[in-house]
Structures are given as C-alpha cells and as structure tokens.
Chain A
Amino acid sequence: MSALEAVLLTVITASTPLLLAAIGELVTERSGVLNLGVEGMMVMGAVAGFAAAYTTGSAALGVVAAVGAGIAMSLLFAFLTQTLVTNQVATGLALTLFGLGLSGLIGEGFTGLPGVKLTPIHVPGLSDLPLLGPVLFGQDLLVYASLALTALVAWVLSRTRLGLVIRATGGNHHSAHALGYRVIAVRYGCIAFGGLCSGLAGGYLSLAYTPLWIENMSAGRGWIALALVVFSTWAPRRVAVGAYLFGTVWIMGLYVQGIGIGIPSQLLSSLPYLVTIAALVVISGNRLLTKVNTPACIGQTFVPDR
C-alpha cells in the first residue's frame, strides 16, 4: 500500500461520517429549522447500529437500526420544536445531552465487544486496479451512499417541486403558508431526513469506521457537521468539499507527526477547528455567496394562526 493511497483512504473514512451528518442537517436547515442535536442523534445511531448488528450478526440490520434511532431522536426534536414550539437552540442542545446519556446507558452491555464490520464492496477487476481501485471502487456502501445522498439532495433542492417547497418554507414561512404549503409537515419531514442522515453517520462510526461501541464515540463530529453546513453556505456540493477538506486537515495532522516533524501535537489537533473558523470567515465575509441559499427563517418558530 502506497503512502498516498493510505492517506486517501483515511481521508475518505474520516470525511464520510461528517458528510453524512452534514447533508442531513443541510436539508433540515434549508426548511428553516436549526437542529443542534446532531451529535446526540449521531451517537444514538452509533449505539443502535452496533447493538443491532452485534445481536443479529448482520451489519445491514445494524444500518437499519442506526437510521431508525436517528429518525426517532429527530422526531422527538420535531415534536418539541414544531408541535410544542419550543426554542430550537435549547431543544437541540438538550437532544445532544439526552442522546449522549441514553446511548451510554443502552451501550453499557456492549462496550468492549468485537463488532460486526460492514464489508467493503469488491468489484472484480476495478477494485484491484493500483491506487484508483481501492480508493474509488473498494469502499463500503455507506461511502457511496454519502456521495449519492449529496447528489440527490442537490438535485431535489434545485430541480424539483419538493425542493421548491422546502426552500420556500425556509425562506419565508408566512408566504409558504399563504401559498397553501403545510409548513409544519414539511419541516417534520426535513427534520426526520436530518435524523436519518445523522443516524447513518453514527452507524458508519460503529459499523465501518471503528467496529466497536464506546461511550461518546462520536467525539464531537456532530458539531463539526453543523459547522460544515454553514461552511457550505447551504449548498450541497460545497458540503462535500468542506467535509473532505476537514478530513484532509485532520489526517494531515497525524501524517505530519508520523513523518516526525516536531510541531506540538496540540497545535496539529486544533488545526481542523482553526481552519474551519478561517473558512467560515472567508465564506461569511462574502455576502453574495451567503445570501443566495441562506434560509431566512432559520431557527424561528412558526405557529399557523386562525
């Protein structure tokens, strides 16, 4: 295995959970809802995925359970913020806290057990090509799913009627309501999609990335995903770019150490966060870039009146 190939492979695996969670949150936010509970949904997806896969022996069932857990958590959020019009920021934070605790409780019986790994696909011929083979054709299904979902979201948002409705809901919920769109229902759907994606991201952690379960194994990746959505200025393609950029900086921090260059490892560890902040500055500073896609109603509650 060449060094380049190793780096590319690790970048892909490090970026995939970020991309999965971010693309879901992007849809949620485009409908005008800010869900800060990504971390909580993700970690619940991770524990549910691991538990189901370990109990049944099937990684596929694990993925299903991860998705289910993510959706269940997001529906809890949707019920609170949409039906009971609670504050979205506070509810999202509570969701994270709740998810971290509950996943720890559920996972108590599953720590330190060898997990079931989602096996990478193997395309005869293609997967055996040097360099390109393993990188492009030897990943597991969730890696392709993350890219396919990104393309799907990009297409739906920009080219379909559903996308138009979602964007209208996020842009101005009063007008959307006046036009006869069911704002709350649309948001329920978008929140659930966010939960699905976060669950998938969590499942990726405990089934593909490191097939094991430990408490807090999402280790802050949900927050990075949230940052990536802003980084992307709510454009699906740029989410993918951002996720891979972050993954690259993350891996390079380890790579540089492996070569033996004496930079404090703490600096290297904080580099991804600093780079994200810098990127946010560059992007937010450009009003043109942000204006186009920014959901104007983000974070505001909506109650249809008589």
Chain B
Amino acid sequence: MRLWLEQRPERSRAMSVISPLIAIALTVIAGAIIFAASGLDPLRALFIYFVEPVTTLWSIEELIVKTAPLVLIGVGLAVCFRANIWNIGAEGQLTVGAIAGASVPILAPHWDSFLVLPLMLLLGTLGGMAWAAVPALLRNRFGVNEILTSLMLVYVAQYLLDWLVRGPWRDPGGYNFPESIEFQAWQSLPTLGAGRVHLGALLALIAVALLFVFMARTLKGFEIRVSGEAPRAAAFGGFSRSRTVWLCFGISGGLAGLAGICEVAGPVGQLQPSISPGYGFIAIIVAFLGRLNPVVVLLAGLVLGISYLGGESAQIVLGISGKTTQVFQGMLLFFILACDTLIRYRLRFGRRPGAGTAGAEQAP
C-alpha cells in the first residue's frame, strides 16, 4: 500500500480554511510530544509557549513590535513570490535601508526639522530598493539566478554596516565602541501607547491594505499573478517579464528597507553591528505561512511573533532551550506546506490506477 495524490477538479474551499488548522493542530501535538519527552508537563509548556504571550498588555505590545517588521517584509515578499521571483535577500535590503535612512541623523545630527523623519523613511525605502535592484538588474540583464545573488548581497550588506559603525560612523563620544550616535526624539519614530509600539506597526498595516488592493484589484497585480501562475500565458498576453521582475524587487526591497529604518529609528535607536535578529529570513516563512496573501500574511506574522515571545517565556519559566523555537517554526512550516496540498489534491492510499502519460504540473 502506498500514498499518492489525486488532483481535485478545483481548489477545495473547505480545505483552504481547514488546512492551516490541521497544520497548527499537528504542530501542537508534535510540540507536546517533544515537551513530554524532555520531561515537562506538555500542557503547561504549550500554554506558556502559545497563550501566555497574549495574556498581558505589555506582551501584546511587544508582540506587535516583533511582528511589525515581519509583516512589512513578508507582504512585499508575498508579492514577489506570487510572481515566481525569489528574493531571499530581504535581510540585506533591510540592512541597507537602515543604513540609508540612518545617514540623515548621523551626517546631519543637529538638523532639527519635521522633514527629518519623513526623509529618513524615504531614504530607508529607497536604500532597500537600490539593494534589491542589483539582483533584479543581474537577472534581467544577464539571466543570473536571483536566489543566489540576493542572498550573497545579505553578507555584503552586513559587512558594509559593520565597517560603517566601526569606522566612519562611529559615535565620537562612545569610547570607540561600534555604535553610531543615539538618535534624538525628532529623529525617532513616535510611539503609540505606553510601550514600544511605534509607527512601523501602522505602516505595516497600511502596506497590507495597499498590497491587498493592488494584488486583487489592479491590472498590475493581475499581471504579477498571471506571470507567476502561467508564465506562458503572461508572455502571450504581452506582459513584460523583466518589468515584473523590476516591480517585484522594487516592492519587496523597498518594504524591507522601510522595515530596516523603522527598526533603527524605533526600538533600536541607533546604528549598531546587529540591527535585526534575522527578520528578513523569517519573513520568507511568514510570506508562505500567509499563503502569499497580504491579509493572511498579517496573521502569519502574529503566529511567528508569538512563537518567538513564547520561546523566550519558555526559556525563563520552564528553563528549556531557545533552539526549540527554531525547531517549532520549521515544523509549523512543514505542516502548513504539507496541509496546503490538501487544497488541490486528495490523499489516496493503495494502488494507483494505471499510469497514463499526462502529468500535472505546478510551477514552484
């Protein structure tokens, strides 16, 4: 007896709702087994992991702080991946965005104007776009695989940041430690509420709304979807592939750059060698978890944010290792990806009826 798939005549609506629930249920069960195996009360551990982070106002605010950059980057990547364009270098675009935006307060520290903050956000976005333009250009001009170039540029961006904060942009009053000057009030994002929630959260919501409309209602959005789902049809339809590449890298790079400057002008408050705990990479998962749909990406960002905060709580309260978070995230993604298959296929056990010649095919 073996497992095989039978294609459904059309996508199952019921399954597109149920499948993420199945995935989460499976993750919870697998998590419970892991906790039980490490000698913990699985229910208590799961509670600390998944529920406790949303039980107090403070942790909800922190959840928003953690989720904002993930969503901001994730929605951009969702658009990109929809078009079958693989920008996995958002971490580098985030870094360059942060550098570009931070250049204002660092190079003109005394310039106090209401223009400073908008300019920082603008430069941050442009910086991310510029860094993303490199793989886009290389792909369009030379046909270089964008997965690799965008990824390689992450390392280059991080070394650039490292060089800047240890060299020319070092805080002159900081005993030569690798930090820029601290940003002043007019150079920092305004906070919303009592905690650390900042304007970036609002920007993330706006990005979600705009991209939702863009993808669902505009011709360009349609073009992107078609060029991803049916590249040949897109070509026949006269859609330019290279324009789509530019557009997708522009959107995703710009949003990553915006997330970068929001982190630097928000919770971090200065440039330093490490400004992101891997947001650009985690956002890839967020995009897929959100099935490349801007609104669902928002929910996915929250789920991952919870898993981070929960991972920290679990370390403090239960004394378990922080690596568990990573394993959890990996598992959750496996389960979600696997369960998504149920939307298009039925699982069958037993012998496959006689093999024919035609094969079904999905682009990646």
Contact = CB atoms under 8 A, between A and B. Distances in A.
Interface of A: 34, 36, 76, 80, 83-91, 93-95, 97-102, 104-105, 108, 173-174, 177-178, 183, 215, 220, 223, 226-227, 230, 264, 266-267, 269-270, 273-274, 276-277, 280-281, 284-285, 287, 290, 299-306
Contact of B143 (A89, A177, A285): A285
B163 A284 contact: no
B363 interface: yes
Interface stretch (B105-113, B208-216, B233-241, B352-360): B352-360
B162 interface: yes
Contact of A94 (B7, B144, B285, B345): B285
13 contacts: A86-B340, A90-B285, A95-B330, A101-B328, A101-B329, A177-B357, A230-B145, A230-B148, A269-B159, A270-B155, A280-B148, A284-B143, A301-B362
Contacts of A281: 138, 142, 144
B247 interface: no
B364 interface: yes
Interface of B: 3-5, 7, 81, 86, 88, 138, 142-145, 147-149, 151-153, 155-156, 159-160, 162-163, 166-167, 281, 284-285, 288, 321, 323-331, 333-334, 337-338, 340-341, 345, 352-364
B230 to A, nearest CB: 13
Nearest to B161: A266
Given A105-B324, A223-B151, A277 B138 contact: yes
A277 B152 contact: yes
Contacts of B163: 264, 266-267
A104 B328 CA distance: 13
B148 A226 contact: yes
B337 A173 contact: no
B326 A290 contact: no
Nearest to B328: A101
Contact of B327 (A90, A101, A178, A230): A101
Nearest to A34: B364
B327 A266 contact: no
Contacts of B285: 90, 93-94, 97
Nearest to B144: A284
A220 B151 CA distance: 10
Nearest to A179: B357
Contacts of B167: 264
A162 to B, nearest CB: 21
The 5 closest A-B pairs by CB, nearest first: A98-B330, A101-B326, A104-B323, A94-B333, A101-B327
Contacts of B340: 86
Nearest to A76: B334
